[in-house]
Chains A and B, each alone.
Chain A
């Protein structure tokens, strides 16, 4: 009897593996360094957790390189099953209907999908104008303010809530205490895109670009011009440091303890834990009280996963299976814990809370909380084509403002003009306009 059962079991397993020969899928991503190791870990765990699907994660370089490689591969008909696309590249991919399978459809066909499982802040950034999720938010982060606890104590201040407070109280005290008060790592992301969402200002026409291709950028407004005028004066007065458009060059002074506060990504948490040999914490991204008294939530940054079309049904089902695994609460919690990226589902967020993660690391929850602040008409995200180039234009002009080569006014006029040219050009590549 026992022998027979074993035989039967073996046969079942054997037949099973023949009938559903292992489906192999690939995942192109841009997660280098420690993040890449965590990605590999997730993939290995997934492969070990079941016998039907094998996923192979492949590192393709920077976000820009990964996007370009994915597009090139699609043109050659050799696209991966899953492509990681960063926030700035999302418009290009979502506009190319037919290049991807909306994740909402994919998951609905393979086990079900409910957008309300996700935390509010990440639901609609990678969605279409009807609110259907196209790309699955994966490594989601948002800009927050880290601060060196000792530095703030030495200066006798607390982390500023508003830029007014920073300007008049925090920064001068920190400077007095011998610190460079502030640095930030990504001007287009932190001082532009999230400046708009934090103050609930429209970033582009057509509902921030979601509702059509004939979009115009609304970056040239008084609030942001004033912000950059202030930032320039902070730099001139030694209240803020600017180290170019490179992320880590700006993070370094904070990591070395020279700069007291740093605007970075909530996803930088894991790395900072490793690098900083001082006590640090984090708080929300400051806002201007002069602009709004009701600051709103920020955009998610980071990247999402797109299921590329043109694959067999088996492979699509395998992709869905992996997405389901990836969004399971344990995996999300593990990803959140290891990297500092926010957990994208409510369940994972709750798990992190009940597990006491935030009691141990209060700073780890700032990102999620900031994404869950009050929303507004302009806080769901933005959708603009050729946005990688638009960001390059911003970086260029901001660099020129800070080095004194141009005025704030001229810079924003240039950004507006060039961005609108790029937007209309993109609209025409899509057969519109």
Chain B
């Protein structure tokens, strides 16, 4: 920050004040409160609470159900991240290549970004309806009885499918602008050096896209972990039942449906630690990214 700056002492304070106030009240205070309340056992109505030390965490560690949810979250995140990145990359490479209709394809592929996750979930839920969903019929035609909301893996399939669908546009936009920022001279040179399109992609294009890809990897993981809440809530119709849940959804279920404040807070803290780890990783990547560009 070697910028020739202004020297007024009070103005920057005043400028920072709104942001800092909001952050302190709605970020730091709740974050600390989550940590504090994760050590307590509290009556739902707030008549009393007692300090229980690490008990809430111990319960989580020992809970088979929590492990199951954590495992599913991992699986869900991996699937959503991998498939939405892979499909988006394929589409971006093709959209970058074709001459005719490139703009139309671009438009058609990106606009789903604007659809809210629960609306996407609603579409998914209709498509997998037991008696008249089209996906259910498709599976039925293939000889498989698809039972969303009943069969754990079928429900997981629906959630993953909708989550991928919703995330493709963002990845597509980033990959496409990444591809388009590769200098023409470099492409020409590559064409002369390497005749095969496939090997050209893997040796030249793909490494050049790597910084974008790494960045998107983090974005997608965050998306799968947190932004899919609306999809899940609508697909499972708000009933946990025997349905696959993600960690964030579990925080909500235990906190807001079950009124177990301490247990829910402990789960929040576990997630915070998880996100912190991810972010440390991300900051290293940002450094790399700045280095590359």
The reply to whether A392 and B258 contact each other, CB–CB distance below 8 Å, is yes
Q: Is A353 an interface position by the 8 A CB rule?
A: no
Among A62, A243, A399, A430, residue most surrounded by chain B Cβ atoms (within 10 Å): A399
The reply to whether B130 and A249 contact each other, CB–CB distance below 8 Å, is yes
Q: Is B241 an interface position by the 8 A CB rule?
A: yes
A-side interface size class: 35 or more
Tell me which residues across on chain B come within 8 A of A62, comparing CB atoms.
238
Scan residues 30-53 of chain B and give those whose CB is less than 8 A from a CB of chain A. 41-50
Q: Is A386 an interface position by the 8 A CB rule?
A: yes
Among A245, A395, A428, residue most surrounded by chain B Cβ atoms (within 10 Å): A245
Tell me which residues across on chain B come within 8 A of A245, comparing CB atoms.
149, 239-243
The reply to whether B240 and A395 contact each other, CB–CB distance below 8 Å, is yes
Q: Is B96 an interface position by the 8 A CB rule?
A: no
B4-48 CB mask vs A (1 if < 8 Å, else 0) is: 000000000000000000000000000000000000011111111
Q: In the complex, what distance in Å separates the CA atom of A242 from the CA atom of B46? A: 39
The reply to whether A68 and B238 contact each other, CB–CB distance below 8 Å, is no
The reply to whether A388 and B257 contact each other, CB–CB distance below 8 Å, is yes
Q: Is B288 an interface position by the 8 A CB rule?
A: no
B93-130 CB mask vs A (1 if < 8 Å, else 0) is: 00000000000000000000000000000000000001
Tell me which residues across on chain B come within 8 A of A96, comparing CB atoms.
43-45, 47
Q: Is B152 an interface position by the 8 A CB rule?
A: yes
Tell me which residues across on chain A come within 8 A of B130, comparing CB atoms.
243, 249, 252
A55-81 CB mask vs B (1 if < 8 Å, else 0) is: 000000010110110010011000000
Q: In the complex, what distance in Å separates the CA atom of A399 from the CA atom of B243? A: 9
Q: Is B134 an interface position by the 8 A CB rule?
A: no
Q: In the complex, what distance in Å separates the CA atom of A418 from the CA atom of B44? A: 19
A399 CB contact (under 8 Å) in B46, B47, B237, B241: B241
The reply to whether A396 and B240 contact each other, CB–CB distance below 8 Å, is yes
- How near does chain B come to A180, taking the closest CB pair, in angstroms? 12
The reply to whether A392 and B240 contact each other, CB–CB distance below 8 Å, is yes
Tell me which residues across on chain A come within 8 A of B242, comparing CB atoms.
244-245, 395-400, 403, 405
Scan residues 50-69 of chain B and give those whose CB is less than 8 A from a CB of chain A. 50, 59, 64-65
B241 CB contact (under 8 Å) in A99, A253, A396: A396
Q: In the complex, what distance in Å separates the CA atom of A430 from the CA atom of B41? A: 10
Q: Is A312 an interface position by the 8 A CB rule?
A: no
Q: Is B190 an interface position by the 8 A CB rule?
A: no
Tell me which residues across on chain A come within 8 A of B150, comparing CB atoms.
242-244, 399, 402-403
Q: Is A429 an interface position by the 8 A CB rule?
A: yes
Q: Is A345 an interface position by the 8 A CB rule?
A: no
A246 CB contact (under 8 Å) in B48, B149, B258: B149
Scan residues 387-414 of chain A and give those whose CB is less than 8 A from a CB of chain B. 388-389, 392, 395-400, 402-403, 405, 414
Q: Is A425 an interface position by the 8 A CB rule?
A: yes
Find the B residue at minimum CB distance from A93.
Answer: B45
Q: In the complex, what distance in Å separates the CA atom of A431 from the CA atom of B65? A: 26
Tell me which residues across on chain A come within 8 A of B241, comparing CB atoms.
244-246, 392, 395-396, 399
Q: Is A98 an interface position by the 8 A CB rule?
A: yes
Q: Is B259 an interface position by the 8 A CB rule?
A: yes
Q: In the complex, what distance in Å separates the CA atom of A392 from the CA atom of B147? A: 20
Tell me which residues across on chain A come within 8 A of B257, comparing CB atoms.
64, 68, 388-389, 392
- How near does chain B come to A428, taking the closest CB pair, in angstroms? 6
Q: Is B201 an interface position by the 8 A CB rule?
A: no
Tell me which residues across on chain B come within 8 A of A402, comparing CB atoms.
150
Scan residues 78-98 of chain A and give those whose CB is less than 8 A from a CB of chain B. 92, 96, 98
Tell me which residues across on chain B come within 8 A of A92, comparing CB atoms.
44, 259
Find the B residue at minimum CB distance from A100.
Answer: B45
Find the B residue at minimum CB distance from A399.
Answer: B242
Q: In the complex, what distance in Å separates the CA atom of A99 from the CA atom of B42? A: 15
Tell me which residues across on chain B come within 8 A of A242, comparing CB atoms.
150
Tell me which residues across on chain B come within 8 A of A256, comparing CB atoms.
131
The reply to whether A389 and B254 contact each other, CB–CB distance below 8 Å, is yes
Tell whether A98 pairs with B47 under 8 Å between CB atoms, given A242-B150, A245-B149. Answer: yes
The reply to whether B149 and A249 contact each other, CB–CB distance below 8 Å, is yes
The reply to whether A405 and B131 contact each other, CB–CB distance below 8 Å, is no
Tell me which residues across on chain B come within 8 A of A67, comparing CB atoms.
259
Q: In the complex, what distance in Å separates the CA atom of A92 from the CA atom of B241? A: 21
Tell whether A429 pairs with B131 under 8 Å between CB atoms, given A395-B239, A395-B241. Answer: no
Tell me which residues across on chain A come within 8 A of B131, comparing CB atoms.
252-253, 256
Among B64, B65, B240, B254, residue most surrounded by chain A Cβ atoms (within 10 Å): B240
- How near does chain B come to A191, taking the closest CB pair, in angstroms? 14
- How near does chain A come to B85, taking the closest CB pair, in angstroms? 31
Among A64, A98, A244, A402, residue most surrounded by chain B Cβ atoms (within 10 Å): A244
Find the A residue at minimum CB distance from B242.
Answer: A399
The reply to whether B149 and A244 contact each other, CB–CB distance below 8 Å, is yes
Tell me which residues across on chain B come within 8 A of A68, comparing CB atoms.
256-257, 259
Q: In the complex, what distance in Å separates the CA atom of A242 from the CA atom of B130? A: 11
Tell me which residues across on chain B come within 8 A of A431, comparing CB atoms.
43, 48, 50
Find the A residue at minimum CB distance from B151.
Answer: A403
Tell me which residues across on chain A come within 8 A of B243, comparing CB atoms.
245, 399
Tell me which residues across on chain B come within 8 A of A65, comparing CB atoms.
256
- How near does chain A come to B155, taking the closest CB pair, in angstroms? 9
Q: In the complex, what distance in Å separates the CA atom of A98 from the CA atom of B45? A: 10
Q: In the complex, what distance in Å separates the CA atom of A430 from the CA atom of B260? A: 12
Find the A residue at minimum CB distance from B254.
Answer: A389
Q: Is B79 an interface position by the 8 A CB rule?
A: no
Q: In the complex, what distance in Å separates the CA atom of A400 from the CA atom of B42? A: 31
Tell me which residues across on chain B come within 8 A of A386, comparing CB atoms.
258-260
Q: Is B253 an interface position by the 8 A CB rule?
A: yes
Scan residues 98-115 of chain A and give those whose CB is less than 8 A from a CB of chain B. 98-99
Tell me which residues across on chain B come within 8 A of A425, comparing CB atoms.
41, 260, 263
Tell me which residues across on chain B come within 8 A of A400, comparing CB atoms.
152, 242
Find the A residue at minimum CB distance from B148.
Answer: A244
Q: In the complex, what distance in Å separates the CA atom of A98 from the CA atom of B237? A: 34
Tell me which residues across on chain B come within 8 A of A75, comparing CB atoms.
45-46
Instruction: Name 13 A/B residue pairs within 8 A (Cβ), A-sorted.
Output: A67-B259, A68-B257, A74-B45, A96-B44, A99-B47, A242-B150, A243-B149, A245-B243, A388-B257, A396-B65, A400-B152, A403-B152, A405-B152
List 13 extra interface pairs beyond A245-B149, A400-B152, CB under 8 A. A96-B47, A242-B150, A243-B130, A245-B241, A388-B259, A389-B254, A396-B241, A421-B59, A425-B260, A428-B50, A429-B41, A429-B44, A429-B49
The chain A residues found within 8 Å of chain B, CB to CB, are 62, 64-65, 67-68, 71, 74-75, 92, 96, 98-99, 242-246, 249, 252-253, 256, 386, 388-389, 392, 395-400, 402-403, 405, 414, 418, 421, 425, 428-431
